[in-house]
Amino acid sequence: MIQLSLLGSVISVLGSRSFAKALALIPTPDETEGPFYPVKDQNDKDADLTQIEGHKGVAQGQYIIVSGQVTDVTGRPVENVTLDIWQADANGRYHHPRDPNKAHLDENFQGWALIQTDDNGVFRFKTVMPGAYPASGTWIRPPHIHLKISKQGYRALTTQMYFPGEKLNKTDLLLNAKSATEKSAMIAKNISQQGNLPIYEYNIVLDLLRN
């Protein structure tokens, strides 16, 4: 009875909508780093992965914008968070010496970025829609983007961002190991179009570092 009374007091103070929103802020689910994290350093790791400094050519494929906000579990924006981003090119190839995929490697695709959130926890980068690729003889991975997110005072997060409406999402072994709530948190939303650029929103929730 005491717990219910306290709960009622909290709801009355915050308002039912605010309280429900607070409950909904679960940390973004963890996911495996995968075998193709970059092993060779490169000079250009900026927020535009569609071109590499010093290259005359540009990346192949459908260009997209990914933007979002990093918050903590209380809903507070987290500034100056480091996002370490890597992905396959439009053909499904990684810039990694041990990638066994025989698809053509796009030498003009940057493939890796290190960016930070602004004072409001907001980030944005331009890239290409990653291609699907075979993970085994019976498993084709859907388009996805890898992210490592770190900030002092918060639990480090490694995850993967998926795209809405992809048929291969339904058969992906990693994504389908998640609950419905976790899947929803890991699939970006197609929110608008900027000329020929689809814009995807992917918000990230960091857990507080616990002693």
Task: State the catalytic residue, choosing from 144, 162, 200, 202.
Answer: 144
Query: Which residues lie across from 193 on neighbouring strands?
Result: 198
**91-127: b or e for each residue (b if 16 or more CB lie within 10 Å)?**
bbbbbbeebebeeebbeebbbbbebebeeebebebbb
Residue type, 137: G
Q: Exactly one of 93, 95, 96, 141 is catalytic; which is it? A: 141
| Structure token digits, residue 140 | 């084709």
Active site residue 144: yes
Catalytic residue among 133, 154, 162, 200: 133
Annotated catalytic residue, options 63, 94, 162, 202 = 94
Check if 141 is active-site: yes
Neighbour-count burial of 164, counting CB atoms closer than 10 A to its CB (0-12 exposed, 13-18 middle, 19+ buried): exposed
Active site residue 63: no
200 among known catalytic residues: no
- Is 104 a catalytic site residue? no
Catalytic one of 63, 93, 146, 200: 146
Active site residues: 94, 133, 141, 144, 146
